């Protein structure tokens, strides 16, 4: 077991120098080192990879939603991953994503909105300021991390495409590139990976499109160049490497729900009172903080992953056992 202390993003990001937003976009897009840096680990048990991944992101505006809990070490957060397109072992995404190209990147906007079509990542990001969001991430497998993301409120991005009155849900799709994603040759899921939210969930200020973590652009294994983060839901809702966003009238099909509907519902809000058929959700292994390793410290799981105060209203009147 290894452990590398977290790098406070204050050390990476000079908070005193607030660059113009245009500079932020530029630094995101000039990212040739993005994949190359983190992809060269060919050996699972090699010494810790040097921190050469990504490009520094600044400025990052602090968020009132940030948790002050001990953060997960960068090395754990980038070497213990779920990204089945690269394989199902936790170490596969870091080891097997070397061919993945996160740039250039574009996203197709479709469905019930006034403005649809294909947009470059640069065009999508241009008007937005990047914020730091230090969130808990709770996987349905019973482990959790505390990760400092860099991102943009999803709602601010979605509003620019002017969803119409018929838009009630938002569907997201991950890039479909079997040649760069060796795990896709196995039919573990109905590829490409798909996820969805109700529109009001997507518009909630806690939902973000993340472009970076620990003050730098995302490595491939964490969903470069942009992924969803919905911190009150199980981690599988936070879909990686998004290439398509569609506004829909009815609830979209989602990969995990399609593969095992009894196990994974559409909502998938973190709920310690509703067990998964194969494991309890009452506690979690927190991979973060002093003295922890990948074994983690056992902590109690909180309703909505600790974000009940912010999001419980979204589900007023709903039976959260039926709508799991």
82 near Mo ion (CB under 5 A): yes
H or E stretch including 33? helix 33-39
Task: Give Cα separations from 290 to 144, 204, 277, 286, 294 (angstroms).
Answer: 15, 32, 32, 11, 12
Q: Which does 201 bind (CB under 5 to 8 A by kind): Mo ion, ligand MTE, none?
A: none
Is 139 near Mo ion (CB under 5 A)? yes
Sole window of 22-30, 153-161, 238-246, 263-271 interacting with ligand MTE (rule: CB under 6 A): 238-246
Examine residue 150 and tell whether it contacts ligand MTE (CB under 6 A).
no
We find the least distance from the C-beta atom of residue 81 to Mo ion, in angstroms, to be 9
The two three-digit tokens of residue 256, written as one number:
């995990």
Burial class (CB in 10 A: 0-12, 13-18, 19+), 101: middle
Under the binding rule (CB under 5 A), the answer on residue 236 touching Mo ion is yes
Residue 62: both structure tokens together: 């602090």
Q: Which of residues 240-269 bind ligand MTE (CB under 6 A)?
A: 240
Residue nearest to ligand MTE (CB): 235
Taking CB under 6 A as the criterion, the residue among 49, 75, 85, 121 binding ligand MTE is 85
Nearer CB in complex with Mo ion: 236/267? 236
Residue 222 binding ligand MTE, by CB under 6 A: yes
Specify the pairing of strand 283-286 against strand 297-300: antiparallel
Residue 71 contacts ligand MTE per CB under 6 A = no
Print burial letters for 38-77: b (CB count within 10 Å at least 16), e (below 16).
bbebeeeeeeebebebbbebbbbeebebeeeeebbbbbbb
Interacting residues toward ligand MTE by CB under 6 A: 81-85, 137, 139, 174, 193, 222-223, 235-236, 238-240
């Amino acid at each position: 077991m290894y452990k590398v202390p977290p790098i406070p993003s204050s050390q990476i990001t000079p908070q005193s120098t607030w660059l113009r937003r245009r500079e932020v976009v530029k630094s995101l897009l000039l990212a040739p080192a993005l994949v190359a840096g983190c992809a060269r680990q060919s050996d699972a048990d090699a010494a810790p990879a040097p921190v050469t991944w990504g490009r520094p992101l600044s400025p990052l505006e602090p968020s009132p939603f940030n948790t002050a809990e001990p953060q997960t070490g960068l090395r754990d957060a980038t070497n213990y991953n779920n990204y089945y397109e690269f394989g199902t072992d936790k170490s596969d995404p870091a080891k097997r994503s070397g061919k993945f190209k996160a740039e250039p990147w574009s996203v197709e906007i479709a469905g019930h909105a006034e403005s649809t079509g294909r947009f470059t990542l640069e065009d999508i990001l241009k008007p937005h300021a990047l914020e730091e969001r230090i969130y808990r991430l709770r996987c349905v497998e019973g482990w959790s991390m505390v990760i400092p993301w860099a991102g943009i409120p999803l709602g601010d991005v979605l509003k620019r495409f002017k969803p119409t009155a018929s838009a009630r849900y938002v569907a997201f799709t991950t890039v479909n590139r079997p040649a760069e994603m060796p795990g896709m040759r196995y039919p573990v899921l109905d590829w490409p990976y798909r996820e969805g939210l109700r529109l009001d969930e997507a518009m909630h200020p806690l939902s973000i499109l993340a472009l970076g973590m620990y003050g730098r652009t995302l490595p491939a294994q964490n969903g470069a160049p942009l992924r969803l983060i919905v911190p009150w839901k199980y981690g599988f809702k936070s879909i990686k490497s998004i290439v398509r966003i569609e506004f829909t009238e009815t609830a979209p099909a989602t990969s995990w729900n399609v593969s095992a509907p009894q196990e994974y519902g559409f909502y998938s809000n973190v709920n310690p009172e509703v067990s998964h058929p194969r494991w309890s959700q009452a506690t979690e292994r927190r991979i973060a903080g002093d003295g922890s390793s990948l074994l983690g410290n056992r902590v109690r799981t909180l309703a909505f992953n600790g974000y009940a105060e912010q999001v419980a209203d979204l589900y007023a009147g709903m039976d959260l056992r039926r709508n799991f």
